[in-house]
Amino acid sequence: MNYIQIKIGGKLRGLKFNQFTDVEYQVKLGKQTNPVAHTYSMVWAALVSNCIVKCEEVDFTFEDVCDWCEKVSESDFKLILETWKKTKEFLKDIPEDKKKVVEKRSVRKITRRNVLK
């Protein structure tokens, strides 16, 4: 199970947990160590991931998500956390050589010699 729907932000929204969610979570979290920042970042990433997968417009900001999280019921938060944990456990079972790896490249100055390569 990597998809759930909860009422958040005044309507029923999907939260999708996948590899994109994990990357977006880490980007949004940055160097924060506060547990609340982790929660906000996790919900944000899952909401954005769902929009991306379904080709929907992201109609909210991170600030909106932070405000919405304050109003989410305890049972919905438990459901979010269970889904997040199940997805993370599933990703641990995938061998490292089978995971998608993003190759980091340094920015090269465009020169005639580099263009011809």
Q: What is the pLDDT of residue 89?
A: 74
* Tokens 């991170």 -> residue: 62
User: What pLDDT does 27 receive?
Assistant: 92
**Euclidean distance between CA atoms 21 and 43, whole angstroms:** 9
Q: Model confidence over 6-38: pLDDT tens digits?
A: 999 999 999 999 989 989 999 998 888 888 899
> Tell me, what DSSP letter sits at residue 102?
P
What is the model's pLDDT at position 44? 96
